[in-house]
């Protein structure tokens, strides 16, 4: 029996598809958890007229300030610096200064600066005792903060160069603490239990505190 030539083509009834899509949309909106940026929890300092002068001095000596203007000129600790490659050595000394060792346990590991100092190898202790321990520099690694601020007109290249110097300084500290070079420390595989143990021991009590300040307007 021949098929009818006038038989219409079969079509899927899509009349209810809009309702189904709407229900699915409602379902995902109700069940999906959207992550929100809660920002940073900061403890603001007291007003300037209420600050203890000794506390102000302590805050200043525990912040290593680096500024870059729109002409890529450097101001480090309020002094002009022409060679960015020496910043790493300066930051290394700042982190390990131990100007006023504290017994207060800080950070998630609850380690004091004195405990951190006692855990360092003898070569690092000798360097600290002979070259550092300045009362005008950081009290200890737990308090040391490196602040980097740039004008909006400064170049991307100079900013990255300085940031590399800062990271290299911290990696040098961490590496020397466990008998590695900064490059060897940087290449530690934290998926390997042995490397992870070295990594955690190297950083214990010495947080990498690099603060990137919001850029100033050009010339500011």
The pLDDT tens digits for 117-173 are 999 999 999 999 999 999 999 999 999 999 999 998 899 999 999 999 999 999 999
| 3-state DSSP assignment of residue 33 | coil
- Residue 88 falls within a domain, yes or no? yes
Four-CA torsion 82, 87, 90, 93, nearest 10 degrees: -170
Average pLDDT, the chain: 85
Looking at the DSSP assignment, which residues form a beta bridge with residue 212? 148
- Residue 70 falls within a domain, yes or no? yes
- Residue 42 falls within a domain, yes or no? no
DSSP 52: -
- Using pLDDT thresholds of 50, 70 and 90, give the confidence band for residue 10: low
- Residue 3 falls within a domain, yes or no? no
- Using pLDDT thresholds of 50, 70 and 90, give the confidence band for residue 31: confident
The closest of 97, 90, 73 to 158, measured between CA atoms, is: 73
Q: Which structural domain range is residue 97 located in?
A: 54-212
Could you give the angle at the alpha carbon of 79 between the alpha carbons of 94 and 134, nearest 5°? 30
- Using pLDDT thresholds of 50, 70 and 90, give the confidence band for residue 15: low
Domain count, the chain: 1
**Tokens for 78?**
């309020």
Compute the distance between CA of residue 12 and CA of residue 60 in angstroms, rounded to an integer: 74
- Residue 2 falls within a domain, yes or no? no
């Amino acid at each position: 029996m021949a098929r009818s030539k006038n038989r219409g083509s079969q079509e899927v009834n899509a009349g209810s598809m809009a309702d189904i899509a709407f229900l699915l949309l409602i379902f995902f909106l109700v069940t999906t958890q959207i992550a929100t940026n809660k920002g940073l929890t900061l403890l603001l300092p007291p007003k300037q007229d209420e600050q203890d002068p000794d506390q102000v001095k302590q805050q200043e000596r525990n912040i290593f300030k680096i500024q870059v203007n729109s002409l890529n000129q450097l101001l480090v600790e309020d002094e002009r610096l022409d060679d960015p490659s020496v910043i790493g050595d300066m930051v290394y000394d700042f982190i390990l200064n131990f100007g006023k060792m504290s017994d207060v346990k800080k950070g998630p590991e609850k380690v004091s600066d004195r405990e951190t100092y006692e855990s360092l190898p003898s070569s690092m202790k000798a360097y600290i005792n002979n070259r550092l321990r300045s009362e005008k520099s950081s009290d200890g690694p737990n308090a040391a903060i490196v602040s980097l601020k740039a004008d909006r007109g400064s170049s991307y290249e100079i900013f990255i160069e300085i940031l590399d110097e800062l990271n290299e300084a911290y990696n040098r500290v961490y590496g020397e603490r466990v008998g590695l070079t900064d490059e060897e420390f940087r290449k530690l595989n934290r998926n390997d239990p042995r490397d992870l143990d070295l990594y955690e021991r190297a950083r214990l009590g010495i947080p990498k505190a690099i603060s990137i300040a919001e850029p100033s307007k050009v010339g500011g």
